[in-house]
Amino acid sequence: AHQLEAHDIALDVNQDEVSLSFLPFSHIFERAWVAYVLHRGAILCYLEDTNQVREALTEVRPTFMCAVPRFYEKIYSAVLDKVQKAPFIRQMIFHWAIAVGQKRFDLLSQNKKVPFFLQKRYALADKLVLSKLRSLLGGRIKMMPCGGAKLEPTIGLFFHSIGINIKLGYGMTETTATVSCWDDHHFNPNSIGKLMPNAEVKIGENNEILVRGGMVMKGYYKKPEETAQAFTEDGFLKTGDAGEFDADGNLFITDRIKELMKTSNGKYIAPQYIEGKIGKDKFIEQIAIIADAKKYVSALIVPCFDNVEEYAKKLNIKYQDRMELLKHSDIIKMFEQRIESLQKELAHFEQVKKFTLLSQAFSVKLGEITPTLKLRRKVIMERYRHIIDSMYSNNKENKENKE
């Protein structure tokens, strides 16, 4: 009830809206959103086969749809890949239109007026490019809640530049989902937004984000010790995330305390940050960073096989199966070059020194990822221990698939 009231204040959802759901209801993100859609009396459409999202978007033409960051990453990389294959003049028009859209968004996000001539340029950009990109998502999107993990800021900025109102939110199962989120226009894309109505947040010891309010759980069922450890003496829930506020009230996650890795050289690594920088590449489907108690950062990478196989075809690479393809020197070299380019912004100690290409994706069924695609790192570390150990052996550097 507390979250329903808060969302009534923060959002505008009426009975004519159509929400498309494809994330599992077992996760608090989709479950809380569905409860709110039903609370508002809007239309809810549920898609069981996630492989049909693209077709469902054009058929249902929803006004709302929840998605995890990986969904946006795949659309982003697919669009850029298609643009790179287009004639030069069309590439120029595309990048011009995106730049115009971003300039308009930057002004709106700073609560500034959009000049007349920029409005005219935006109208032309929208007609030529931006409206066509929005049509990929059905053309009627009013808002797309995004949660489950951090969204790479460049991707969030891209979607707002084309006129898709992604609303990145931050929350936990213990807070019945949303604690903070982006507003419709005036937000910092590097942040996790501003606080939801009636949510109280303060920064505690070790810069930990602490939450209090009616949306916070009373405790873990029949686990009094765990419940006591989860709260401060004054009743704030310990999130396990480190963060800070800026002067405008935007909340930022600076580290995930529960996930920080410390190398054997004493350097702290934030794996999700590195995974976000590298994982947005069109050739990468999944990535798991390895660094805890290790000499350097390494990675397990599941390639996007559609794109890798297309690349192999262009180079006339012959192979019998995916295992053989991933061992090919040209494929390994291509991944080395792309990773090197993607991690230029990272500090030297954060950069991936070795990687292994995996022929099988991380699986929900095997417990390697959650239904919202978060990595279960302990499971992955155990299942791929022999591969991980090989990346830290004294043998000659090996960057090919050994599975």
Q: What are the helix (H) ranges across 136-177?
A: 153-161
**Cα-only R_g, the chain:** 22
Predicted pLDDT at 331:
97
Predicted pLDDT at 184:
81
Q: Which helix or strand (DSSP H or E) is residue 255 part of?
A: strand 251-256
Which of 247, 164, 172, 242 is CA-nearest to residue 180? 172
Please enumerate in sequence order all residues whose Cβ is within 8 A of that of 297, keeping only pairs 6 or more positions apart, or say none: 263, 269, 274, 289, 290, 291, 349, 350, 351, 352, 353
User: How many residues are present in the chain?
Assistant: 403
Q: Which domains does the chain have, with CATH numbers?
A: 1-258 (3.40.50.12780), 261-391 (3.30.300.30)
Which of 50, 69, 70 is CA-nearest to residue 168? 69
Cα 136 versus chain centre, distance:
19
Instruction: Count the Cβ atoms, other than its own, within 10 Å of residue 250.
Output: 21
Model pTM? 0.76
Which of 372, 280, 368 is CA-nearest to residue 22? 372
Please enumerate in sequence order all residues whose Cβ is within 8 A of that of 9, keeping only pairs 6 or more positions apart, or say none: 197
- Written as tens digits, the pLDDT of the chain (403 aa) is 899 999 999 999 999 999 999 998 888 999 999 999 999 999 999 998 888 999 999 999 999 999 988 899 889 989 999 999 999 999 999 999 999 999 999 999 888 999 999 999 999 999 999 999 999 999 999 999 998 878 889 999 999 999 999 999 999 999 999 999 998 878 888 999 999 999 999 999 989 999 999 999 999 999 999 999 999 999 999 999 999 999 989 999 987 777 788 888 888 888 988 998 999 899 999 999 999 989 999 999 999 999 999 999 999 999 999 999 999 999 999 999 999 999 998 999 999 999 999 999 999 899 999 877 788 999 999 999 999 999 998 644 444 444 4
Predicted pLDDT at 398:
43
Predicted pLDDT at 374:
83
Predicted pLDDT at 394:
61
Predicted pLDDT at 140:
96
Q: How many CA atoms lie within 13 A of 367 on its CB side?
A: 5
